[in-house]
């Protein structure tokens, strides 16, 4: 987005209006636990992704993808950086479950700073 108009003059009114337009992305960030019980949490995350698809969204659940080739212990910081980049692509973050893990809290705080819509869901995938 540029502050200059098509004639190369500064146009702050149009610039401010365009900044305030909410861009709707079809992507939603799936925020749910991974650590603790990875096998169970992966199965749950798959269900949350299916729920998002039924709602017409494209789910991004990094904790289903990155553990396939990254170590949660040795490469956690790098994975969290990449999670943040994926979060930027999403219009919303959907938080599942009643307990918020350390990683989830970090993702939620980043979503707040990005002014993303945050939706809290129950474990049964129903909006609260």
Q: Where are the domains of the chain?
A: 22-121
pLDDT confidence of residue 124: 66
pTM: 0.78
- CA-CA distance, 99 to 59, in Å (whole number)? 20
Per-residue pLDDT band for 128 (boundaries 50, 70, 90) equals: very low
pLDDT tens, position by position, 59-85: 999 999 999 999 988 999 999 999 999
pLDDT tens, position by position, 29-56: 999 999 889 999 999 999 999 999 999 9
SS3 54: helix
- CA-CA distance, 21 to 8, in Å (whole number)? 22
* Cβ neighbours around 43 below 10 Å, total: 10
pLDDT confidence of residue 11: 83
Q: What percent of the chain has pLDDT over 90?
A: 67
* 22-121 has CATH 3.40.50.450 classification: yes
């Amino acid at each position: 987005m540029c502050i200059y108009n098509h004639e190369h003059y500064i146009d702050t009114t149009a610039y401010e209006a365009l900044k305030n337009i909410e861009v709707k992305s079809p992507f939603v960030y799936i925020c749910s636990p991974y650590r603790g019980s990875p096998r169970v949490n992966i199965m749950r995350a798959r269900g949350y992704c299916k729920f998002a698809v039924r709602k017409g969204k494209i789910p991004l659940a990094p904790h289903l993808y990155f553990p396939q080739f990254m170590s949660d212990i040795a490469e956690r910081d790098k994975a969290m950086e990449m999670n943040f980049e994926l979060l930027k692509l999403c219009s919303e973050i959907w938080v599942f479950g009643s307990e918020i893990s350390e990683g989830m809290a970090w993702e939620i705080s980043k979503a707040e700073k990005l002014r993303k819509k945050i939706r809290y869901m129950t474990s049964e995938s129903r909006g609260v």
